[in-house]
Amino acid sequence: MSLADSISDVGSKATRRWLSFDPVLAITTLFLIVFGLMSVLSVEKSLFTKQALLLGIGFVPFMIAFTIPPAIWQRLSWLLYMINVGMLLLVMFMGNSKGGAQRWIDIGPIGFQPSEMSKFLTVLTVTTFFVHRGDDLRSFSTLLLSLLHVIPVVLLIAIQPHYAAAASVLVGWIAVAVVVRVNWKHMAILFVAMSVLLGGYSAVSGKSLLRGYHMDRIGALFTGIKTGKKDTQGQDFQVNRGLISIGIGGASGQGYLQGEFKGAAFVPEQENDLIFSVIGQEWGFAGSIFLLTLYLVFFLRGWQLCLKMEDLWSRSVCLALLAVMAFHWTVNMAMNLGIGPVIGLWLPFISYGGTALWVCLMMVGLILNLNSIQSEEQFSRGAPKAWMR
């Protein structure tokens, strides 16, 4: 093949790849990112400048996830696993503390949170483990070994402590296990055994796995449900202030950048867990419904693309990444609406934070990557591209 033919072939493949770039998922993601930037700007201009810079940096991890072939991810699985565990160990010895938690590693002026990246890496490595088990995929030993694969990551995150992130990693593991169709009886046995072991540990040691403030938040939630009264000056203070902000927005909101209950720490850490309160206040019910519609389109389109993937690894990774983001969305919305405790899970693409944004971009980048490969294969077989159906 001549040099001109080689260049033409590369160009043809690149063209087919970008034509396979799913516009629905990509445009919905872009809208969510813009909505997030606008919300962060509304909270504080300096945070917007930093978030915009972090978004620019995030183009690099997005392109890495979008361009690296699945075979490379699988081949480097154990290296990724060691990097995952190594980063979490590094947090224990070199991490910075904030609010009683040691979760961050400073990279120059940027705070990097390895527990967030663990959600992405664990899905990749545990999926590879399952798929490589071949004929033993549905055996109890495979399920048990997959749990042992995940447990070190979960424990290292829980030690920080960051129980919500540890739960997200477990959600990713469960999602992969469901997609590869493990025996549900084996899963039930494993959950019962884990519950007994954890309960036995608490009984023997006299220590609860949850910390005092965790119990206080859960207790305040159930007390409020039972009595119909909120502890507005105690554990419910943050959520109550958020609900006031959402409620004052009414049907159409107070107007962008016009929210009166911003600043002066009316809602603590409003740019993070409770950023939806900014949206509810300034955009009102109409704006909130628009945002929720964007999420609905995002998850439904992602689900549709994942189900079209023919190989088990791609389908499992895709659906597990979606499950992790859906878990974040569900828990965060429950926090904002006062029907769940505040446990520190960001709203995908919206909440302020660099590592969280990068992880979301990598998740979307890999889903688009896997869909493009699937569409290229269909194109070569003469089938219509995914975005045309």
In a 3-state reduction of DSSP, which class is residue 221?
Answer: helix
Give the pLDDT of the chain (389 residues) as one tens digit per residue. 454 544 444 445 555 555 567 899 999 999 999 999 999 998 888 889 999 999 999 999 999 999 999 999 999 999 999 999 999 999 988 877 776 677 878 777 788 899 999 999 999 999 999 999 888 888 999 999 999 999 999 999 998 888 899 999 999 999 999 999 998 899 899 888 888 887 775 667 656 565 554 545 555 555 554 444 555 554 566 677 778 888 887 888 888 888 777 655 667 777 888 888 889 888 989 999 999 999 999 999 999 999 988 889 999 999 999 999 999 999 999 888 888 777 778 999 999 988 999 999 999 999 999 998 887 666 555 544 443 33
Q: Are 126 and 176 in contact (CB under 8 A)?
A: yes
pLDDT at 385: 45
pLDDT at 201: 59
Residue type, 388: M
pLDDT at 15: 55
pLDDT at 376: 67
Distance CA 145, CA 4 (A): 50
pLDDT at 319: 96
pLDDT at 227: 45
pLDDT at 257: 81
Q: What is the dihedral of CA 82, 345, 289, 58, to 10 degrees?
A: -40
Q: Are 248 and 255 in contact (CB under 8 A)?
A: no
* pTM for the predicted model, two decimal places: 0.85
Residue 379's Cβ-count burial label (10 Å; 0-12, 13-18, 19+) is middle
pLDDT at 379: 52
Q: Are 350 and 276 in contact (CB under 8 A)?
A: yes
pLDDT at 388: 37
pLDDT at 118: 95
pLDDT at 380: 56
pLDDT at 247: 81
Cα separation values, 173 from 24, 83, 160, 184, 347, Å: 27, 18, 20, 14, 21
In a 3-state reduction of DSSP, which class is residue 106?
Answer: strand
Q: Count CB neighbours of 311 within 10 A.
A: 14
Q: List pLDDT tens digits, range 17-58.
A: 555 678 999 999 999 999 999 999 988 888 899 999 999 999
Distance CA 330, CA 85 (A): 27
